[in-house]
Amino acid sequence: MNKNTENQFDAIIVGAGVVGCSIARELSRFKVRIAVLEKESDVGWGSSCRNSGVIHAGFNNQPGTLMAKYCEEGNQLFHSIAQELDVLFKKTGKLVVAKNNSEIAGLKKLKKQGERNGVKNLDIIDEQEIRKLEPNVRGVAALLSPETAITSPYLYTIALAENALKNGVHFYLNTEVENIEKKSSGEFVLKTQNKQFITDYLINSTGVYCDKIARMAGIDRYRIYPCRGEYYVLDKNASSLMNHLIYPVPHIEEGGLGIHLTPTVDGNVLIGPSNEYIDTNKRNNYAVTMEVLSKLCKEAQKFLPAISPKYFIRNYAGIRSKQTPPSQGGYRDYVIEESEEVPNMINLIGIESPGLTAAYPIAKEVVAMIDKKEKLSTNPDFNPYRKGILRFEEQDEETKRKLVEQDPDYGEVICRCEQVTKREILQAIDNPLGARSLISIKYRSRAMMGRCQGGYCQTRIMELLKEKYNYKWDDFLLRGSESYMLTGNRSNGEPAL
Amino acid sequence: MINKDVVIIGGGAAGLAAAVACRDKGIEDILIIERESALGGILKQCIHDGFGLIKFQHSYTGPEYAQKYVDQVEKQEIAYLLDSMVIDITSQKVLTVVNKSGLKKYKAKSIILAMGCRERTRGAIGIPGTRPTGIYTAGVAQNLINIHNYMIGKEVVILGSGDIGLIMARRLMLEGATIKMVLELLPYGSGLPRNFNQCLSDFDIPLYLNHTVVDIKGNKRVEAITMAEVDHNGKVILSTCQEVPCDTLLLSVGLIPENELSKMAGIQLDSLTGGALVDEYGQSTVKGIFACGNVLQVHDIVDNVSLEAEHIACGVEKYLSSFLKPKNDIAIEIGEGLRYVLPQRIQYLDDTVFSFRVKKPGKKKQIVFKNDNRIIKEKSFIRVNPAEMIRIKLTSSELSDIKHLKVELN
């Protein structure tokens, strides 16, 4: 492949979620000129940062489906990818808990299904064994899945993107595709607000917008029904209440896995998600609702009576890109295909749960599809390794002492709740992708994610931005363009420089 | 390991007053550890007046009030560290402190916890809606305006009628913003009466009691909130929902004592105050570790913080000279009408100042201290208000032969 002018690419990936970034990274193993176009100001701001962060084992999906196949493969792959990319990954294991005897049949069914999918080490345990593993959890029996793991979904996406960037992939943030034209030469012309892109291959990994992008290219057979899931985030103090992921027995017709309790790699606990189809015209409606928030707490208490609102520190919502309409519910298998009517466009449709787990196998599949046609040549400079930001808080005392000796910025704790130092925040600000919203800094450093939610450190981080980058009032953005945190300088005061 | 007689964590109102009082009692070896780059704590950003009326019979601004103590600290050459964070503390009173010059360990004979409190956030109270920019806690807004000279909004709705929210209503108004309203979930205001007069009434800012925010709209910046009335159980009356266009939502919905370090030290906390469980000298369940100021209980005015800190210093001095010997151990029983009582237990039967808050406003009330059925002290109030902390002193003779102590509001 041989594109080389500034706006010409061999392959363009639209959408920098976990799937798009996985494809970018995997494709950068080859000599391909690649661009990723993302409408938001950072990678992973759609469903990739709004889920439970679970690396599923693969027993929830119907045998023979792509969902089942990629989920099981993704679970097995994850450990080595996480090591290459320096991403947190904890094999905590999961319990699917039957609240009463009538649900035990469901556990057996899941176990059987999992075994058909190739999931290892599944076991059904009784009430006593539940108590041993999880003294605070109530249930009569449970399916124990030791292979189920957790990661940080946004840090994983960032890691994939940073590694892809290092291997030559071009990232265009704040770049929303407005129009797609297929020229007679076979090339695609993508129009965005400021720029035009030309590419031979077009990969549609736009999650909840995948049907819209396909339609721009003239493919009208996909339909996405956005389905929202709301979550609560619990204080780290709640992490002592449980060790495993705690799930109810899923009711397949609901199209979700049921409201569950998930520990995060950072030590918080998530409750959620709910399952609500929303207006297909408002696919960025990430609002949480009064009704669901109160339901989340009650559902969680059924398994873990010790859960209480005193642990709540935040809430959020994510949106599943479901192919099944509300009237039908349930799941429809992933569609990963090059359409006959538009050659060289690969559409990834309905990549909902277990999308985080399946992302990498999906990427491998997409690359294989291109390789089959193009016989790609290996990129000899490909470097699979990427380093994340070293977390001061997680180091032992001796290491902490040495770090401060090496760099005094490690001695300045900016975020007290999460013990994030100035050094880490500066690294987060200077991230390779150049994303400088407060949320970008937050995801990368964990500052502002603790129990005070930035009450202490937010103004200090703003001060750092002002000192280092001479930020004016209108440079401070919370979540990308136009999300101004301030409305001006104070009228009578010394002008804020 | 560096040895210290007294280490004070936090150089705000409580820490400064405790330090000065300890020095006045003749304690030489004191160290204040402050995480910010200047002493003074939250007072630095409280540029309004009204501080010091009890302590100095004069109305100072926050920075002025703090400076009086900072001057004392400087004059008496009390040691302090700035930009320094305590990242670990043990029940053996070993502290790990990190700052630019390194990571150091201190072994203290006595520790005074004076870390203050933090603001309750949107996430903690679970306000539904989207997550745009323009939602601030009152204290963060105060910091951005008063310390950093930024404006945080133009059309503002304030949820919660805590004092900082009221102060910020006036502050924003004076800076040219429009304050559309203050909403309060409770049937009465949470702030001090004087702040309702000086900050809301004087500026014609409407206050809606029994109201809350049930939705936030906007994807980038706040575009509107939905307000609604609540019934007497605090349940939202959906038929009263009303959308209010605004670009800013300010939250003044409560303060939480910041006891993360206290927990590390193994100190027992009181779920009613959110602070340490203490005796009459502010000594926690870990001997030699004391607490004062907002980390112990959220105070109404800073003068009471100073008074409390000064009293705690007496205990520290006694502890260091091994004069703190329990004579008894009486848990205080909380009777009708009171939200909490401090101290939670008394052991020495010396002169003791009790502080508490009532559950709801009332008129013509008495606070009664009883030893079983014998009334040992009674104090009448024309009106009581949960916003105001009540402090009542019992002398050692009043406490001399008690077996049991109950406080109630009649």
Best residue of A39, A240, A459, A475 to probe chain B, by most B CBs closer than 10 Å: A459
Omega before A250 within 30 of 0, i.e. cis: no
Say if CB A254 and CB A276 are below 8 A apart: no
Q: Say whether B126 and A285 touch across the interface (CB within 8 A).
A: no
**A456, A467, A474, A491: best to mutate for the B interface, most B CBs within 10 A:** A456
Taking CB atoms and an 8 Å cutoff, what residues of chain B touch A450?
none
SS3 state of residue A283:
coil
Residue B328, min C-alpha distance to chain A (Å) = 34
| Amino acid making up residue B132 | P
Q: What is the CATH number of the domain that holds B337?
A: 2.60.40
Same domain, B344 and B355: yes
Answer with the one of B307, B324, B341 that is the final residue of a domain: B324
Give A316-366 pLDDT, tens digit per residue: 999 999 999 999 988 999 999 998 899 999 999 999 999 999 999 999 999
The pLDDT assigned to A492 comes to 59
Looking at the fold, whether B45 and B113 belong to one and the same domain comes out as: yes
Q: Are A56 and A357 contacting, i.e. CB atoms less than 8 angstroms apart? A: yes
| Chain B residue at shortest CA distance from A309 | B124
pLDDT at residue number A252: 67
CA-based nearest distance A313→chain B, Å: 5
Instruction: Return d(Cα A11, Cα A201) in angstroms, integer.
Output: 4
Triad A422, A425, A427: Cα angle to 5°: 110
- Do B159 and B243 lie in one domain? The reply is yes
Structure-token pair, residue B120: 């309750």
Q: Which of B224, B292, B131 has the alpha carbon at shortest distance from A454?
A: B131
DSSP string, A308-375: -GGGEEEEEEEEEEESS-TTT-S----EEEE-SSSTTEEEEE---SSHHHHHHHHHHHHHHHHHHHH-
What integer pLDDT is reported at residue B325 of this predicted model?
Answer: 85
Angle of helix A422-429 relative to helix A438-445, nearest 10 degrees?
A: 130
A494/B149 Cβ within 8 A: yes
Nearest-Cα residue of chain A relative to residue B130: A287
- Asked if residue B139 and residue B81 are part of one domain, the reply reads no
Residue in chain A nearest B155 by alpha carbon: A487
Pair (B186, B297) in one structural domain: no
Residue A485: its chain B contacts at CB < 8 A? 133-134, 152
Q: Which of A286, A458, A481 minimises the CB distance to B130?
A: A286
Interstrand relation of A345-349 and A335-338 (parallel, antiparallel or unpaired): antiparallel
Q: Are residues B278 and B336 in the same domain?
A: no
**What is the tally of structural domains in chain B?**
3
Residues of B in contact with A405 (CB under 8 A): 102
Segments making up each domain of chain A, as ranges: 87-150+227-316, 392-475
Q: Is the pLDDT of residue A118 over 80?
A: yes
Residues A431, A404, B266: CA angle, nearest 5 degrees: 105
Q: How far is A486 from chain B (nearest CA, A)?
A: 5
pLDDT at A281: 94
CA–CA gap between residue B288 and residue B284 (Å, rounded): 8
Domain A87-150+227-316 has CATH 3.30.9.10: yes
Domain extent, residue B73, equals 1-119+254-324
For residues A397-419, average pLDDT: 97
Same domain, B105 and B167: no
CB distance B98–A315 less than 8 Å? no
Test B149 with A315 for CB contact under 8 angstroms.
no
Residues of chain B with pLDDT under 50: none
Q: How far is A290 from chain B (nearest CA, A)?
A: 5
Domain boundary among B324, B340, B356: B324
* Class of CATH domain A392-475: mainly alpha
| pLDDT score recorded for residue A496 | 43
Listed residue (B4, B46, B30, B2) closest to B309, CA to CA: B30
Nearest to A486 among B87, B132, B152 (CB): B152
Q: How many of the other CB atoms lie within 10 Å of CB of A260?
A: 24
Pick from B283, B301, B312: which is nearest to B42 by CA? B301
**What is the band of A495 on the pLDDT scale with cuts at 50, 70, 90?**
very low
Q: Give the type of residue at A248.
A: P
Phi and psi for A167 in degrees, rounded to 5? -95, 20
Across A108-215, the runs of DSSP E, i.e. the strands, are 123-126, 141-145, 149-151, 170-172, 179-182, 188-191, 196-204
Distance CA B410, CA B396 (A): 24
pLDDT of residue A96 exceeding 50, the answer is yes
Overall average pLDDT of the A383-396 stretch: 97
If asked whether residues B263 and B114 sit together in one domain, one would say yes
Contact A66, A371 (CB under 8 A): no
DSSP characters for B291-355?
E-GGGTS--SSHHHHHHHHHHHHHHHHHHHTT----S--EEEEE-TTEEEEESSEESS-SSEEEE
B143/B231 same-domain check: yes
- % chain A with pLDDT above 70: 97
Cite the DSSP H helix spans in B217-279: 260-264
A414-423: pLDDT as tens digits: 999 999 999 9
Angle at A58 between CA A57 and CA A59, to 5 degrees: 110
Residues of A with a known catalytic role: 56
Q: Locate A109 and state its tokens.
A: 């069914």
The CB density around residue B322, as the number of other CB atoms within 10 Å, is 7
CATH of the domain at B258: 3.50.50.60
Chain B nearest-CA residue for A394: B87
Query: Which residue does chain B place closest to A398, by CA atoms?
Result: B103
A491 pLDDT above the threshold of 90: no
The answer to whether B200 and B163 are in contact (CB under 8 A) is no
Among partner residues B123, B143, B247, which is closest to A453 by beta-carbon distance? B123
pLDDT at A456: 94
Helix, strand or coil, per DSSP, at residue A466: helix
A452 touches chain B (CB under 8 A): yes
Contact A286 B221 (CB under 8 A): no
Q: Which residues have CB under 8 Å from B185's CB, separation 6+? A: B160, B210, B211, B212, B230, B234
My answer on whether B246 and B125 are in the same domain is: yes
Torsions phi, psi of A143, nearest 5? -95, 125
Instruction: Supply the DSSP symbol for A377.
Output: P
Cβ pair B149:A412 closer than 8 A: no
CB pairs under 8 A between A and B: 146
Q: How far apart are CA A98 and CA B302, in angstroms?
A: 54
Check B149 against A479: CB less than 8 A apart: no
B16 & B33 share domain: yes
The predicted pLDDT at position A490 comes to 87
Minimum distance, in Å, between the CA of residue B373 and any CA atom of chain A = 37
Q: What pLDDT, on a 0 to 100 scale, did the predictor assign at position A1?
A: 61
Residue B143: list chain A partners with CB under 8 A: 459
Angle (CA) B220-B223-B229 rounded to 5° is 135
Contact A316, A50 (CB under 8 A): yes
CA–CA min distance B102, chain A (Å): 5
Q: Which residues contact B401 (CB under 8 A, 6 or more apart)?
A: B371
pLDDT of residue B327: 86
Closest residue of chain B to A439, computed from CA coordinates? B133
A478 interaction partners in chain B (CB closer than 8 Å)? 132-133
Any B CB within 8 A of A240 CB: no
Final residue before a domain boundary, out of B269, B298, B324: B324
Interface test with A, best of B33, B36, B121, B133 (most A CBs within 10 A): B133
Tell me if B209 sits within 8 A of B189, measured CB to CB: yes
pLDDT digits (tens, 9 = 90+) for A127-138: 999 999 999 999
Q: What is the pLDDT of residues B267-301, one digit of tens each?
A: 999 999 999 999 999 999 999 999 999 999 999 99
